[in-house]
Amino acid sequence: MTKDAGSGARYRSVFRPGLFAGQVIVVTGGGSGIGRCAAHELASLGAKVALVGRKAEKIAAVAREIAEDVGAGLTSEHVCDIRVEEQVAATVADILKAHGRIDGLVNNAGGQFAAPLVSITQKGWETVVRTNLTGGFLMARECYTQWMQGRGGSIVNVVADMWLGMPSMGHSGAARAGMVNFTETAANEWSVSNVRVNAVAPGWIASSGMDQYPPEMGERIRNMKNMAPLGRMGSESEVSSAIVFLLSEGAQYISGTTLRVDGAVPNTKVSRPLPPNPHPLPRYDGFHRAKLPKVLGEE
């Protein structure tokens, strides 16, 4: 990953310039990680990006980065706890007031903590489910009812590699599985309005979120690349590319699907261990401001 970036540097997207010119895309969780990366890529492709997050200082920092790299006036900042219905409705209304339209939603905000099922309290369970399932539903519903229902649009829900279970993160796995089902249901019900609803499921991605886990998970995180058939972790840019594709006109006949970005990890079999991959495919790092999480050190 790149280690530095100065004013005037640009996102190196694989998509054509101006792809989203004239469009407004909402990105939740836009202050860090995959959301920050996707916001940068979308802005570099001409979109106006409504950054949504719980911490004003984080989304403000991303807005400043985009202004430095692409130009001023391409973002708006909206502080919102997506778990609170009234805040979500007001936030979507504010976005419409600021931009006059909503063409796409990247439902990226989420969060969880590591714990075995037996130690997760009801409060902890419900907090994660509200963040990773209920909040995404509320954002999608409000974007749909306040704008997309009569005009069309595209929604991309960011979920996770929860196939075959998520040991130590059962609350998140249950919520993400629910979000996949919501994606499939909304794609059906909202197709009459020409609203496409898809999901992207990142696997082991070298993102800032890895630094939020306790130190005792460090060795496990660093060893993940050795368990992936493709022999490495993914990058934020590789997830953003999937999001951007599903938002784009090239995906006009794709709805109700979940695109995995996981290096084939769910396809591994305990009964058929693979030899190490000595020559992993190079990682695509289009995001000029990306940095490896501290837990990974220098790769």
Average of per-residue pLDDT across 50-62: 98
Q: Is 241 contained in some domain? A: yes
Quote the pLDDT of residue 287.
95
Q: Is 284 contained in some domain? A: no
| Count of the separate structural domains present in the chain | 1
Instruction: Answer yes or no: are the C-beta atoms of 204 and 262 closer than 8 Å.
Output: yes
Quote the pLDDT of residue 4.
45
pLDDT tens figures, 163-218:
989 998 999 999 999 999 999 999 999 999 999 999 999 998 987 776 666 676 77
Quote the pLDDT of residue 2.
45
Check pLDDT > 70 for residue 6.
Answer: no
Burial class (CB in 10 A: 0-12, 13-18, 19+), 72: exposed
Q: Is 19 contained in some domain? A: no
Query: Domain range holding 171?
Result: 24-260
Q: Alpha helix (H) ranges present in the chain?
A: 33-44, 56-69, 85-99, 122-129, 135-146, 170-189, 218-223, 236-247
pLDDT tens figures, 259-292:
999 999 888 887 887 788 888 989 999 999 998 8
Give, as one character, the DSSP assignment of residue 245: H
Residue 70's alpha-carbon distances to 63, 150, 247, 293, in angstroms, are 10, 31, 20, 25
Domain CATH for 94? 3.40.50.720
Q: Is 294 contained in some domain? A: no
Q: Which residues pair with 49 in a beta bridge?
A: 25, 75
Average of per-residue pLDDT across 227-234: 88
Q: Is 1 contained in some domain? A: no
Quote the pLDDT of residue 185.
98
Cα separation, 166 vs 134, whole angstroms: 19
pTM higher than 0.85: yes
Cα separation, 150 vs 162, whole angstroms: 34
Q: Is 140 contained in some domain? A: yes
Kindly state the helix (H) or strand (E) to which residue 106 belongs, with its residue range.
strand 104-107
Q: Is 192 contained in some domain? A: yes
Q: Is 17 contained in some domain? A: no
